[in-house]
Structure 1
Amino acid sequence: MKSATPRPFSGASAVSRPWLPGLLLLLLAALAPGCAPRVSPPGTVIADLRDMPQDAGAYIDPLTATRPLLPAARQQALADDYRQRFFAPWHRTAPAHGPQEVFKLLDEFDPGRYHGENRLPLPPELADEMRALADPASFPNTMRPAISVVNSDLRVLPTVRPLFYNFDLAGEGFPFDYNQNSAVWAQTPLLVLHTSADGAWALVETSAAAGWMPTRDLAFVDAGFMDAFNTVHLAAVTADRVPVADCYGQFRFMGRIGMVLPMTGRETGSVDVLIAARDASGRALLLTASLGDDAAAPWPLAATPATFARLANEMLGQPYGWGGLYRNRDCSALIMDLFAPLGIWQPRNSGAQARHWGLAPLGDLDREGRLRVIGAEARPWLTLLWRPGHIVLYIGQWRGRPAVLHAAWGVRTRVGEAEGRHVIGATVITSLEPGEDLPELERPGGNLLLRLGGMAQVAREGGTP
């Protein structure tokens, strides 16, 4: 909601001499060069969020909404690649992530550099505690296939304790918990590489990430289970935060866009799937569940603008989640989950996503040159635009400007020497210059368009896979 602009003057003089307030402000500005710079009032909403529809359907042409964006053979090849990657952890005989990678933070961990949830420095003894729990000398001590049975987290160290840098620095403190690597949705194939000394944590790999998760959140699988779960037909969850109950009516987990489940049948109004639960011994128990056809569909979904828009609308407005914190999405998780129902695999972080499809640099182009190239070469719903640390999806044009979908924390601001952030904190649709209406926007550092490193064409012929 647009905030009201405060009226600088009131009273008879302002009414009888309407030109006087403006003149006085100009004189004050000229005579007092050291006065405080202009800043937006608290609660200001950036213009993009006021003026651009936060409905992905507004950016698609009704005449081509159901036209496939990819040839059928190309999408099938992508889906085959997705399936292979998704189930790959069950077929590995060696870790895909070595000890130098999974224990990197542990090897250089200095608790004094971090703050906890109480904003105080972490105790120095935490370093020895984490090393004893992680037991890196015995890596890998498990090597067993498993499956996540609830929505969980992949942590960098085997603890729920957060690792925040200085809360007083812009872009640091909450929600940037450096112990959070990724969320992992229920029913994701895993390889358990290693178990903590107390048995409470498992160091696991998914198709896209690795980290520590609570052992209670997973179940070990055997050959029979893997054969049953890796069925010919799969289903995609198409609604976000939908409760999933088993055949006995017991709630098991929240269905999320990005989940892929074995499909056993389809009836009018529903899709039947297999799900895994953890039994008393920690092994996977195979159950059935039924989802409404408004919450699941045969996988992969057709790669049409209408499909993309419907999935995007399920996630629009949701809070930003660094590394999947609180089961929310950051920029790369949004991209990964949006493409999963269509059978298009994406890596977990923004830089890897851009490189996966072949990044075309924008070089030293100026603002107008960048807009020209994007307007001429970007394909709605199939072009990623990347800058270091952030990635967005081009979805078309809005009143002559590129429109993008992204999970955004905020835009850089600067008032005098003080750097800050104007927080957006959600999945949104904006232009490539969100916050340009803010007088305190850091220029040019806060301009997304000018900081873009390049663009990548998703699923391009001749590219990955």
Structure 2
Amino acid sequence: MRVHGLYASLLLMALSCALLSAVEAPRYLALSENPPLVNPDLRRPGFWISHHPNPDSLLMDASNIAKFNRRVLRKGDVGQIEQSSAIIGATHLKRMINDCYNMAKGHGKFRQDGSPTDKQFWQTLRDATNLKAIKNVNRCRFAFPLYYTDQRLLPLAEVLSDVALDLEFDYLQNSGFDIAEPLVIYHESADGNWVFGAGRASSGWYPKKNLAFLERNDWLAYQQSKDFVITIRDKSDLYLDEGRIRYYGLLRLGTRLPLRAEHDTVYELKLPDGQSAYIAKGEVHRGYLPYTARNVYELGFSALNAPYGWGDLNAEYDCSGFIKQLFQCFGIYLPRNGAAQYNASLSLHEFEGADNSNQREALIEEFALPAQTLLRMPGHIMLYLGSIDGRAYALHSLWGIRRPAANGEDDVIAAAKTLVSDLSLGEGGKRKSLLLRLSGIGAIKDEK
């Protein structure tokens, strides 16, 4: 499979997870100005474990996870990066770069200082993409991030926004990549400071200084190491010494690193450049975790209250980024955006527009599988926790919650974090509740 053939259409900036439109100007309220969304017990993994019928039963074993991953690969939203071609043609590479450029230009109306972007600004960025250096046949390089690294739509670190000074929504931010995620690199910017390439589920520009480049055989051997650890916390610290004094960098949930040695209180890991790094044993699991409801709940709730990060901005999560990182802990590799994640799942039910709230709650309770189900709506995706007294609850990362205001418009509560809620959010607002906006229920399971 030529993995770079998968990425031209996998740009992620269609992700909203914010439940509001950037062109509107509603009144914004801090979440602290409003009562908690659920009571404290519902914000604990143990509550949901106790309500699950079989929290320690395998939802999929290793063979079924492999089968699930193969099915996702066939759908084309995740690439089998290990089988990447060593070359890429000019036509396809230019199309990928131009798709990223056009996506950024469509939304990036203002620069970081609030000034509007203009023709000269976009021409400068066009020149920076260095299209003239692309040959008819281009040799690929193989790399890993040495640190958490942003993937950008253009070779520029500056924030571009749709609304002046709205810096939380950076329309150059495409995704985030953790230490040791495999990358295929196709091209370099005019100044040599950025490289264009792809991971498993998206393409874009990376700061060249953040990457380690390996020969293909070494690159394959590193990512195929049989002895490895998976991080099991929202964020974990990595050190350069066994005593954990010299800080190296952060690891997000679901990051995989090869294991070099085991010590009393730490694991010694191998970084892509060959260095050793150390992490406390309680921060990781040796190998993938068993895919059980208990583990889904405990790992998912480790990210509770983590700040919202559009496109993984600042090493945080948006709605689909959280889902992707969570299921990586089990060796399940999902696409990067919510629509593709739902497409990768096994559809359990599609909603009709005429369903009312009570009917929808009943349908969720009938069809959805707690800890294993994605609840999908346009622009947002959530993990279904379960239903209590006929009301469904979800764990999800989102930016804003709409509610009706006295003036007939909507207020927006700036939640900006991963939280637990029922699906009544937005009820009475112009866009309706999450419940009434749901389009489908899909399970992360095999086809049996």
Short-chain TM bin: 0.7 to 0.9
Structure with higher Rg: it is 1
Output the amino acid matched with 2:270: L
2:109 maps to 1:114: yes
In the TM superposition, what are the counterparts of 1:206-225 in structure 2 within 5 Å?
206-225=199-218
Q: Give the alignment's TM-score, normalised by structure 1.
A: 0.79
Corresponding residue to 1:104 among 99, 106, 116: 99
Is this contact kept in 2: 1:82–1:343, CA < 8 A?
no
Aligned equivalent of 1:159? 156
1:420 CA drift (Å): 4.4
Output the amino acid matched with 1:147: F
Corresponding residue to 2:301 among 289, 294, 313: 313
Aligned equivalent of 2:337? 349
Aligned equivalent of 1:203? 196
Aligned equivalent of 2:256? 260
Aligned equivalent of 2:437? 451
Aligned equivalent of 1:423? 414
**Residue deviations 1:387-445, cap 9 Å, x none?**
11100010112343111110011122454364542211100011111254xxxx514x1
SS in structure 2 of the partner of residue 60 of structure 1:
helix
Aligned equivalent of 2:388? 398
In the TM superposition, what are the counterparts of 1:160-199 in structure 2 within 5 Å?
160-167=157-164, 173-199=166-192
Is this contact kept in 2: 1:78–1:343, CA < 8 A?
no
2:226 maps to 1:232: yes
Is this contact kept in 2: 1:154–1:180, CA < 8 A?
yes
1:122 CA drift (Å): 2.6
Q: d(CA) in 2 for partners of 1:287 and 1:82?
A: 34
2:143 maps to 1:146: yes
2:361 maps to 1:368: no
Q: d(CA) in 2 for partners of 1:41 and 1:318?
A: 16
2:396 maps to 1:410: no
Aligned equivalent of 2:291? 303
CA RMSD, aligned part only? 3.1
Q: Give the alignment's TM-score, normalised by structure 2.
A: 0.82
Aligned equivalent of 2:447? 461
CA change 1:396–1:266 in 2 (3 A) is farther
Aligned equivalent of 1:442? 429
1:66 CA drift (Å): 2.4
1:76 CA drift (Å): 5.2
In the TM superposition, what are the counterparts of 1:87-102 in structure 2 within 5 Å?
88=81, 91-94=84-87, 98-102=93-97
SS in structure 2 of the partner of residue 336 of structure 1:
helix
Is this contact kept in 1: 2:394–2:421, CA < 8 A?
yes
1:39 CA drift (Å): 11
CA change 1:203–1:80 in 2 (3 A) is same
1:317 CA drift (Å): 0.3
Q: d(CA) in 2 for partners of 1:180 and 1:41?
A: 24
CA change 1:47–1:275 in 2 (3 A) is same
2:235 maps to 1:244: no
1:311 CA drift (Å): 1.0
Q: d(CA) in 1 for partners of 2:282 and 2:383?
A: 25
CA change 1:41–1:207 in 2 (3 A) is closer
Consecutive unaligned residues of structure 2, counting only runs of 5 or more, are 1-26
2:393 maps to 1:432: no
In the TM superposition, what are the counterparts of 1:77-92 in structure 2 within 5 Å?
77-78=67-68, 88=81, 91-92=84-85
Aligned equivalent of 1:8? none
Q: d(CA) in 1 for partners of 2:49 and 2:107?
A: 51
SS in structure 1 of the partner of residue 326 of structure 2:
helix
Between 1:318-327 and 1:364-373, the stretch displaced more is 364-373
2:294 maps to 1:294: no
Aligned residues: 408
Answer 1 or 2: higher relative contact order, Cα 8 Å, separation at least 6.
Answer: 2
Aligned equivalent of 1:125? 120
2:45 maps to 1:56: yes
